[in-house]
Amino acid sequence: MQIQENISLKLYNTFGINATARYFAKFTSLSELNELFHLEFSNKEIPTLVLGGGSNILLTQDYSGLVAINEMQGIEVINQDTLHVYVRAAAGENWHRLVVYCVENNLAGVENLSLIWGSVGASPMQNIGAYGVEVKDVFYQLEAYNIKEKKTQVFSAKDCEFGYRESVFKRKYKGQFVITSVTFKLNKKPVFNTSYGAIQQELDKMGVHELSIAAISQAVINIRQSKLPDPKEIGNAGSFFKNPTISKQQFEKLQTEFPAIVGYIAKDNTVKVAAGWMIEQCGWKGYKKGDAGCHSKQALVLANYGNAKGIDIYNLSTEIMHSVEAKFGIILEREVNII
Ligand SMILES: Cc1cc2nc3c(=O)[nH]c(=O)nc-3n(C[C@H](O)[C@H](O)[C@H](O)COP(=O)(O)OP(=O)(O)OC[C@H]3O[C@@H](n4cnc5c(N)ncnc54)[C@H](O)[C@@H]3O)c2cc1C
């Protein structure tokens, strides 16, 4: 394994931000990962940033520590019972490749999560979600390397304390573990979820009369390709902000002033408000300042149209947060990890 110095991270983050890593390495196995944390310089407590696809980070400055890219590969069935198949994937695997594997093997549960960027390892960290499904719904367990104790540990779903785009790895264990593999519990008998977003409409458009895992996956792919900018063309990290949750009472009060406000009632009688709608109402959709902007089709997506610096995008996000708070009294939270 090679340790490089002063490497541009432009190709390692989907925003395409040209920040530099003081030290840089790629690891392909647990032993290489272990080796990294036994190097002389890593004992001097320099910070380490482990990345998969770099699709949920915003680099606001050069990184003074070690950036380690997880390239651990492999997908295997490790067990099955009458109803489920347990699939373990190495953390460096591409998430969508895992989805394709499941679709091809008729394993249900992740089809609604088709075409999400990034790695398997980041999926529980973020509890990724789309079209009414979250990773926690198919999660069985994961293995993670404890950086301080230099050994691996197993985490159950309960240990991970999943929330909306949240887990222990983003909060109390931040920077303490490297996820090395994730095991998913997939269904042999699919329970289709087509109620969210435009899935049913897309299936109708595709002429699908009989639901299947493959058809739903394809519908999700079609929808995502039509509405989200491709980071290969326009730098972005998907939704920049979370959809805030407020009380039903607060939502009803807002509805009197803004009858068109978009919200989804949750089981606990709270309301998840569409952050994109509020951002659009504040006039940001399609806004551009230099190369930093708010996407013209999807206001929740901030974009690098060329050579924006991470700090330009960060400052734009702060301005957006201030205007949403001033208009709606709601404080937005960034979904993207700010580095
Ligand atoms: C166009 C686009 C659309 C998107 N749509 C969605 C969507 O629909 N739903 C959704 O939930 N997300 C979405 N995202 C966000 C992103 O795809 C997910 O958050 C994804 O899980 C990030 O994976 P990654 O490997 O790129 O993580 P990275 O950006 O590399 O890392 C993200 C964070 O996780 C940490 N991390 C990464 N790997 C590990 C590991 N092995 N162990 C410990 N920590 C780790 C990093 O240190 C960092 O803090 C979208 C992004 C893009 C660009």
Length of the chain measured in residues: 339
Strands 84-90 and 129-130, sheet pairing: unpaired
Q: Which residues contact 7 (CB under 8 A, 6 or more apart)?
A: 20, 21, 24, 67
Decide: helix, strand or coil at residue 297.
coil
Q: Is the model more confident about 37 or about 91?
A: 91
Residue 116 has pLDDT above 70, yes or no: yes
Instruction: Taking the CA atoms of 164, 237, 177 and 93 in sequence, report the sign of the dihedral they define.
Output: positive
Tokens of 75: 């997908």
Decide: helix, strand or coil at residue 91.
coil
Residues 276-298, mean pLDDT to the nearest whole number? 96
Give dist(CA 163, CA 327) in Å, integer: 27
Residue 119 Cβ < 6 Å to ligand 1? yes
Residue 224 annotated as catalytic: no
Residue 55 Cβ < 6 Å to ligand 1? yes
Q: Bridge-partner residues for 139, per DSSP?
A: 184
pLDDT value at residue 39: 78
Distances (CA, A) of 37 to 50, 127, 142, 154: 12, 26, 20, 19
Residue 235 Cβ < 6 Å to ligand 1? no
Tokens of 14: 């989907």
Strands 84-90 and 177-187, sheet pairing: antiparallel
Nearest atom, ligand 1, residue 70 CA: 41
Residue 280 annotated as catalytic: no
Nearest atom, ligand 1, residue 165 CA: 11
Q: Which amino acid is at 207?
A: G
Tokens of 291: 């190369």
Compute the distance from residue 56 Cα to the ligand 1 centre, in Å: 4
What b-and-e string marks burial along 54-75, b requiring 16 or more CB atoms within 10 Å of the CB?
bbbbbbbeebebbbbbbbbeeb
Residues 224-239, mean pLDDT to the nearest whole number? 94
Residue closest by Cα to atom 11 of ligand 1: 128
Q: What is the mean pLDDT of the chain?
A: 95
User: End-to-end CA distance of the chain, in Å?
Assistant: 25
Compute the distance from residue 203 Cα to the ligand 1 centre, in Å: 27
Q: Which amino acid is at 25?
A: A
Cα 296 to chain centroid distance, Å, stands at 21
Residues 89-102, mean pLDDT to the nearest whole number? 98
Give residue 43's pLDDT band: very low, low, confident or very high (50, 70, 90).
low
Give residue 38's pLDDT band: very low, low, confident or very high (50, 70, 90).
confident
Compute the distance from residue 12 Cα to the ligand 1 centre, in Å: 12
Give residue 296's pLDDT band: very low, low, confident or very high (50, 70, 90).
very high
Q: What is the pLDDT of residues 252-265, one digit of tens each?
A: 999 999 999 999 88
Compute the distance from residue 337 Cα to the ligand 1 centre, in Å: 9
Compute the distance from residue 52 Cα to the ligand 1 centre, in Å: 7
Catalytic residue among 165, 167, 217, 317: 165
Q: Bridge-partner residues for 70, per DSSP?
A: 27
pLDDT value at residue 312: 97
Q: What is the pLDDT of residues 151-207, one digit of tens each?
A: 999 999 999 999 999 999 999 999 999 999 999 999 999 999 998 878 999 999 999
Q: Which of 15, 56, 165 gets mutated to test ligand 1 (max ligand atoms within 8 A of its CB)? A: 56
DSSP letter at 212 equals -
CB 328 within 8 A of CB 263: no
Compute the distance from residue 122 Cα to the ligand 1 centre, in Å: 5
pLDDT value at residue 42: 63
Give dist(CA 286, CA 293) in Å, integer: 7
Residue 54 Cβ < 6 Å to ligand 1? yes
Tokens of 15: 């925003």
Cα 19 to chain centroid distance, Å, stands at 21
Residue 237 Cβ < 6 Å to ligand 1? yes
Helix (H) or strand (E) holding 313: helix 310-328
Share of the chain above pLDDT 70, in %: 98
pLDDT value at residue 88: 98
Residue 156 annotated as catalytic: no
